[in-house]
């Protein structure tokens, strides 16, 4: 009796097609994963959390995808255009451009009656708080003083920032009245308490977890946590309370090692900080010592980025002029003005919108310029 011959499984055309389609699907998935990974890298090397699990029931509409891609393309085109135009303009022309802006500001000083009436509450005599955009204190009810050296800075119609000076020993209470009144969820501090042996800001919060302080108006500020989010950036969580009112939490970001009237060595840290601030409802309070140099640089970069986001042509001189309409004297030095251009060019390179050889001459000129200033 002979052995049964093994039955060979025939491969049909349909079977081959299924196998090929499976391979194609795997290839497609790999390509999609690669695209998603590229989109997550925004050029600033921001660390992102674990991706949320999809419910499997939501589908992204094609129009929404197209809108996102169009916005992304518009941003890229505007940033590339700005980068190439800046490199063509050059450092010297930008310095001359800033000098003209500065002279214009010195010749046209808006009304500042509240500033003049409160000299004891101003850290510097020549850093003005203009009337038109100043933040008026209304809390607590019945308080006779409504002045604090702070100005509203709208960005594309939204009251996004409050720019203010570093509190003095006489204005710590006013500072916290401002925070409580506007329910500010994030404070950005861009200066040290002491710099080069000079007092630049009062210690207006407790820097150790578990400690607390109380100011004259009745606000208690308790430090609940202190952590280093990245090099030179300290995050302190503060809980504010007033008897008879609900408590609320403020996150205090302290950027260390940014020199007065100068610029930091890191070019992408500005954007990483601004990215963090997106998670907080406005307004965000930003201050350095005078509240115009380092403060203006950070806020000006956000304004510039918003222009790029909608695909509009970015002219940094126009950004500074608009910024100064709200916070007089913002962006204090030509170094800070040039730095704003440099970080955007660095972002364009990180996003691979330009080739290194296209921007290398600008980089070299920038380094020579900074060394000359040092």
Catalytic residue ranges: 288
Task: Give the phi and the psi of residue 362 in degrees, each rounded to 5.
Answer: -65, -45
Beta strands 158-164; 186-189: pairing state: unpaired
Q: What is the DSSP letter of 121?
A: G
**Any bridge partners for residue 151, and if so which?**
134, 163
190 near 259, Cβ under 8 Å? no
User: Helices (H) and strands (E) in the chain — how many of each?
Assistant: 10, 10
What is the chain's length?
374
String of b and e for 327-354 (b: at least 16 CB within 10 Å)? bbbbbbbbbbbbbbbbbbbbbbbbbebb
Residue 163, classed as helix, strand or coil, is strand
Tokens of 10: 């025939």
CA 53, distance to chain mean position in Å, is 29
């Amino acid at each position: 009796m002979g052995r049964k011959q093994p039955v060979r499984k025939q491969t049909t055309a349909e079977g081959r097609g299924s196998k090929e389609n499976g391979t194609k699907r795997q290839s497609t998935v790999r390509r999609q994963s690669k695209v998603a990974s590229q989109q997550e890298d925004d050029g600033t090397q921001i660390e992102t959390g674990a991706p949320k699990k999809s419910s499997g029931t939501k589908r992204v509409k094609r129009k929404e995808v197209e809108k996102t891609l169009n916005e992304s393309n518009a941003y890229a085109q505007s940033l590339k255009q700005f980068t190439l135009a800046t490199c063509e303009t050059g450092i010297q022309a930008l310095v001359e451009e800033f000098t003209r802006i500065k002279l214009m500001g010195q010749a046209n000083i808006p009304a500042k009656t509240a500033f003049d009436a409160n000299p004891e509450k101003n850290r510097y005599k020549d850093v003005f708080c203009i009337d038109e955009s100043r933040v008026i204190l209304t809390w607590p009810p019945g308080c006779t003083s409504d002045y604090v050296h702070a100005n509203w800075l709208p960005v594309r119609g939204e009251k996004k920032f409050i720019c203010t000076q570093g509190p003095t020993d006489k204005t710590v209470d006013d500072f916290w009245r401002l925070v409580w009144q506007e329910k500010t969820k994030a404070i950005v501090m861009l200066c040290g308490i002491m710099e080069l042996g000079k007092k630049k800001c009062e210690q207006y919060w407790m820097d150790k977890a578990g400690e607390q302080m109380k100011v004259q108006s009745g606000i208690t500020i308790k430090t609940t946590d202190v952590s280093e989010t990245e090099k030179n950036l300290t995050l302190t969580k503060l809980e504010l309370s007033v008897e008879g009112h609900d408590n609320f939490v403020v996150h205090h970001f302290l950027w260390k090692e940014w020199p007065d009237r100068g610029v930091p060595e890191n070019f992408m840290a500005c954007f990483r900080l601004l990215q963090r601030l997106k998670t907080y409802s406005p307004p965000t309070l930003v201050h350095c010592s005078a509240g115009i140099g380092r403060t203006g640089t950070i806020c000006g970069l956000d304004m510039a980025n918003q222009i790029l986001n909608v695909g509009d042509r970015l002219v940094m001189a126009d950004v500074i002029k608009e910024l100064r309409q709200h916070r007089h004297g913002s962006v204090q030095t030509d170094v800070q003005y040039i730095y704003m251009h440099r970080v955007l060019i660095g972002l364009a390179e990180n996003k691979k919108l330009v080739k290194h050889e296209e921007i290398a001459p600008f980089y070299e000129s920038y380094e020579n310029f900074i060394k000359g200033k040092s």
